Each structure stands twice: as C-alpha cells, then as structure tokens.
Structure 1
Amino acid sequence: MPVITLPNVRLHVQELNPEGPETIIMIHGMFSNLAVYYFNIAPMLAAHYRVVLFDMKGHGMSEKVRTGYDLTSMTDDLSDLMDTLGIGSAHLAGYSYGGLVALKMATRFPGRVGKLAVIEGPDPSEQETLAIIDTYSKEFLIHYIENFADTTRLLAGKRQLEKNHRMYEFLFNETSIRSDMESEKTFFDDPSVAAIPHETLLIYGEMSNCVPSGHTLAAKLRNARLVLAPGDHNVPVQQPEIIGKQLTEFFRRPLTEVDGNGFEKFIVDNR
C-alpha cells in the first residue's frame, strides 16, 4: 500500500492478509520503522489476522514533520489511520515507545482497542529510557544486514542503513522529538493507565534494563500478564519466532499460567 494522506500527516502503510477476520495494528518504536515486524513477526500473525503496519511520522517512508511526537499526537495519527482504513476497532501490538502509543490509545479510545500487547515498553520517567531507544534501532539495522543471505538484499540493507542515518539526523536536529518524549515522564503515573481494562500481554527481554518497567505495568494494569523472553531490549530482533509465537497465542486465546510472583517466564518448547 502506498503512502496515504491523513488529516495531519502522510503515513506509509503496509497490510498483510487484508481479508483477515480481525485486525492487528503493529506500532514500531522511535528511530525505527515497520521493518522490525515486516519480515518475521507480522507474517506469523497474518496467518490468522489482517495485519496493518505503518511507519510513524518522521520515520521510514512516512512524511517528515517537525512536531507532534508526543503520545496524544501519535494516537491522533493512529485513530485517523483507522478511520481512513475503515477499521472500527483492532488489537494493538507496540514495541518500545510504540508500546506506550498502544497504551495511550487504550486510555483515549478504549472502544477502538481489543487486546493489547506491549513489547519492551519503557517507563518514561527513567533517565535511561532515551538512551535505550536511541540504540536499539541501530542494532536492529546491523542485525538486519548481517543476516541477509543474498547480495541483492545485502545491498538493500546497506541503503536502508544510510537512510536511517539521515533519519536520525533529521529527528535529532530538526524536530521536537526529544522534548515531546521527555514530556511523557509521568505517563505511567496517570490514573487512566491503571484504569485500562483491556487484556494485556507484556513481553520483555529477561536481560533488558526495561524489565522493571514491565513489572511496574504488570502491577498497575488490572488484566495484564508479564512474559520474560530470552534477550534484551532488542528482543523482537533477537527472537522474532518466539515473539511471533507469543503474540499469536495471546491474540488467539488468553494466557492462563502465571507463577506465584505474578509473571510467567517463556520456556522454549522444542517438541
């Protein structure tokens, strides 16, 4: 699907299995793009669902804009995107800052959200949050290139790496992205977050600095389960099959087994 025009921005959108009976919208993190899901995780979900991916404003092939990277503006974009695509309600899966966008969507437009999956959603009040978000997409691109098997894809990966460097320059030097993100420091303390009723899956890398954020959300949300998977903040890149399996099982049926500490640890089953 091409870049589509919304009331306030033009966004690049891709769809898999557009005839699927239910829709999952996947939201990437800051300084990344929809490719974090497109090649591995999204196709697994598309076996059962319509999957909608989009590049957030200023990212990937979407319009480069200088303001509006706060959670309210981001959820305005998502709501407008759903309207344009004729989606009344959808399940949401968000990674890193995209996980916060998914949570904000549930607080502002609860009737438009089915289940929620938050992958490595960072606590905005933590000083290291910006540093984590700054680094993970660089690792993603390096991993993306190194794991392609043929020359054509390798060259495409190198071109994407250069595009990403230009994106970083634009976002850091010409936009309000840092101040907008810093303005969300109290988001986890907002009473509307604790009031989210939606069934929520929280996935964090067991070696990630964001694990405390996962425990914080698990304690706040009334209907949430926390899963620890092998890896760190880059777990969707490191373990796409595990993440895809977790998301598929969550969206298809509720998770039921929780340990005495209130969270479950993912165990790879090779049977």
Structure 2
Amino acid sequence: MPIITVDHRQVHIQELNKGAEQTVVLIHGMFSNLSIYYFNIAPILAKHYHVVMYDLKSHGMSERFPDGYDLESMSSDLLALLDHLKLEKVHLAGYSFGGLIALKTALKAPDRVDHLIVIEAPDPQDEKARTIIDEYSKEFLEHYVANFTDTTKVQMGKRQMEKNHRMYEFLFEKTSIKADMIREKHFLSKAHLSEMKVPTLLLYGVESNCKPTGEWLNTQIGTSELELISGDHNIPIQEPVQIAETVAYFLSQSLSKPLTQNHG
C-alpha cells in the first residue's frame, strides 16, 4: 500500500506494469477510491501500459484535508503527482467527478495529456446529476464488500465498514467538498472545449442520467468520439471489462508514435 508524499501531502497510489513505455493514469470519482479500477479495469490495461491509480485527498488511504476540492485544486494535485513520478505525458482517464478533473487537467495542461478518456462525467450545474455521485458512493461500498473482500483475502467486516462511513461523514460534514462542487456548476459551459486538441473518448451508460452530458460534450470537443456502454452511471462496476477493452482499443487505434517517458 504505497503512501508517497507529494507537496507535503500523503497520497496513496498503486502502480501496475511500471516498465511499460506509456502510462495511463486513472482517476476515481468522489466518495470512492482507486479500487474501482484496481480489480478489473487496471489489470487489463496493464497488459500494455504502465497504470497509475491514486486516492484523491480524503479518500481511501490518502491524507485528509478540509478544503481544496474545486477542479483547479484537484487538477493541480494531479499535476504535482505526475511531476513527482516524473511523468511528462500520460493518457488520462477519469470517472464521474474524476472525469471532470481529467477534463480540467487536459484543458489546463494539454501538453501533459496525450489522450483523454472521460467516463460518465456529470454536468455540475445539473442538480439531479450531482445527487448521482452520492447515490453511487453507497452502491460502490455495497458492491466492494460483496465482491472484493474474498478477492483480496481481507474480510472488510464491521470495523472497515465503520472506517469507510467515517470517511464519508468527514467529507460531508467537515470539508468544503459539496460547496466546492456546487461552485463548479458552470465549469462545462465556461470551458473552451472547442479549442481542445487532445483526442478524447467519451464513455457513458445507455441508461445513465448523465448521457445527455456525454452527447453534448461530443458536439463541443472536435477531437472526441462517444461510446455508449450498457448500464447506467455505474458502468465501471457493471461493465469493467468492456470499458477496459474499449479504452485499450481507443489508445491502440489513436497512437501514431510511441511516447517517451521517464518513470523515475
């Protein structure tokens, strides 16, 4: 369980296939952790790529902080992590609010992002879409307990359940996370999406309330393509293999030349 210090912050990361030439960085959504990728999606991508996953601040095993959950801060956290790992350019994928972090980073530092994958990013100004994130966190925890405790040979049990619930309570009650998310409600409408040149894959569930956002993004980002996956907002849980294979195919088809990277 590697914990590294980035700009005086403790960050939990996991890496697979560190020797690969190209890197995919995976960003989870709010109120979950990197395990949403670790068990199914990351191993498939790691057949061809160096895969980096990390817990956002106050999530999983990363250090807790009372503020800094706006997209500018979260993007800066990500760029600092890339600097720490000596990764000059990566393929960047984000799910739910993590998709917004990925999109923000591609707009802010396009020279650091070779390809962008946005999975089920919501429109922050859609109040109904924002509630999906809260609902998802509960389903994620239930799914994790039911499916991954045996896989990891660690029985979550009452103590771990209580620890996760304390994390949710901390985020909801003692941080600026909800206020920061609400302040970002005009992010998509104000972003200069038409100017973005990064090749972008948009992955959305056929039955997701966020699908209209994916369809709209596809009209705004000239370098994007939209792929619909069977399921709703929880497609990383519902169809992890299809998502991983779709991402791998997108990267293999899009790459015209190898990336030069230093993994430190």
Q: Return the TM-score normalized by structure 2.
A: 0.92
CA contact (8 A) 2:149 2:155 kept: no
Query: Superposed, which structure 2 residues align to 1:1-271 within 5 Å?
Result: 2-148=2-148, 150=150, 153=153, 155-156=155-156, 159-254=159-254
Q: Could you tell me how far apart the structure 1 residues matched to 2:145 and 2:216 are?
A: 35
Check the 8 A contact 1:34/1:53 in 2, yes or no: yes
Secondary structure of 1:155's partner?
coil
Partner letter of residue 59 of structure 1? H
**What is the aligned-residue RMSD (CA, Å)?**
1.8
Partner of 1:269: none
Q: 1:96 to 1:150 in 2, by over 3 A?
A: closer
Q: CA 1:153–1:159 in 2, change beyond 3 Å: closer, same or farther?
A: farther
Shift in Å, 1:152: 7.2
Structure 1 residues 5-54: Cα deviation after superposition (integer angstroms, max 9, x where no partner): 11152211110000111000000000000000000000000000000000
Cα 1:61–1:154 change in 2 (3 A) is: closer
Report Cα offsets for 1:228-255 as digits up to 9, x if no partner: 1111000000111111111111111139
Offset of residue 75 of structure 1? 0.7
Secondary structure in structure 2 of the residue aligned to 1:128: helix
Q: 1:142 to 1:19 in 2, by over 3 A?
A: same
Verify the 8 A CA contact 2:122 2:130 in the aligned structure 1. Answer: no
Structure 2 unaligned segments of length 5 or more: list them: 256-264
**1:110-134 CA-partner distances (Å, limit 9, x unpaired):** 1000100000000111011221001
The letter for the 2-side match of 1:129 is A
Distance 2:193 2:133 in 1: 21
Question: May I ask how many residue pairs the two structures share in their alignment?
Answer: 255
CA distance in 1, matches of 2:90, 2:213: 25
Alpha-carbon displacement from aligned partner over 1:157-190 (angstroms, at most 9, x marks no partner): 7654332211110000000001100111111112
Quote the Cα distance in structure 1 between the aligned partners of 2:98 and 2:44: 20
Paired with 1:220 and 1:117, the residues of 2 have a C-alpha distance of 15
Aligned CA distance change for structure 1 residues 111 and 63 (closer, same or farther; 3 Å): same
Q: Work out whether residues 205 and 231 of structure 1, in 8 Å CA contact, stay in contact via their aligned partners in 2.
A: yes
1:157/1:199 CA distance change after superposition, 3 Å: farther
Whole-Å separation in 1 of the counterparts to 2:202 and 2:157 = 30
SS of equivalent to 2:217? helix
Check whether the contact 1:67–1:176 (CA below 8 A) recurs between aligned residues: yes
SS of the equivalent of 1:204 reads strand
Identical residues among aligned pairs (%)? 53
- Output the CA distance in 2 between the equivalents of 1:157 and 1:239: 26
1:5 aligned partner, one-letter code: T
Counterpart secondary structure, 2:15: strand
Give the aligned residue type for 2:209: N
Give the distance between the partners of 1:64 and 1:221, measured in 2 at CA: 34
Q: Pick 1 or 2: higher relative contact order, CA cutoff 8 A, min separation 6.
A: 2
Residue 194 of structure 1 deviates from its aligned partner by: 2.8
CA distance in 2 between partners of 1:73 and 1:31 (Å): 17
Check 1:124–1:52 CA distance in 2 against 1; reply closer, same or farther (3 A cut): same
Relative to 1, partners in 2 of residues 1:154 and 1:200: Cα closer, same or farther, differing over 3 Å? same
- TM-score normalised by L of structure 1: 0.90
8 A Cα contact 1:70 1:181, kept in partner: yes
Gaps of 5+ in 1: 256-271
